[in-house]
Amino acid sequence: MKTLKQIKAFTLVELLVAATIGILCVTSVIVMLQKGRAIDTTDRYRRYAKALVISEFESAALHHAQYANLKTMAGTTSRTVTIDARGDYENIDGTMSVAIGAETLIASSDGTNVPYIPVTITLTWNSVDGNDNISFTKYITQAGE
């Protein structure tokens, strides 16, 4: 039978060190989970913003426009859109700008000049990390008609 002197126990210092290490580990896990959630949220908004921009390119106004009509539409227009992230995420309002450039000529591989009109769509919104945006440019050629 063991006496009281023979039983070994943890000292108060050892318990405090172990508790501190445990608290640091739990805090680290919580911070990693929060950062992961913020990255997931940003990625979700960027995916939906990209879908909005691609949808705008495919709209009847740009996709089916005659080349001659696009030449007369040169300039920039802006409007407010809502990035609907669905689920537990809040919708965010953003500004979509459609910039139709002036007709430009570019030399093709066979040496002939091909006219094209650059169309750039940019969507800007306020995210958790500040301003975020996504931008795509499409070159529409006269040869495409």
**pTM for the predicted model, two decimal places:** 0.65
> Residue 51 domain-assigned?
yes
Total tally of structural domains belonging to the chain: 1
Residue 87 pLDDT > 50: yes
CB-count exposure of residue 83 (10 Å: 0-12, 13-18, 19+)? buried
Model pLDDT for residues 18-65, shown as the tens digit of each residue: 999 999 999 999 999 988 888 887 888 888 888 888 888 777 566 556
> Residue 5 domain-assigned?
no
Residue 113 belongs to domain spanning: 12-144
> Residue 75 domain-assigned?
yes
> Residue 2 domain-assigned?
no
Contacts 24+ apart (CB under 8 A), 53-56: 53/96, 53/121, 53/122, 53/123, 53/134, 53/135, 53/136, 54/136, 56/96, 56/98, 56/121
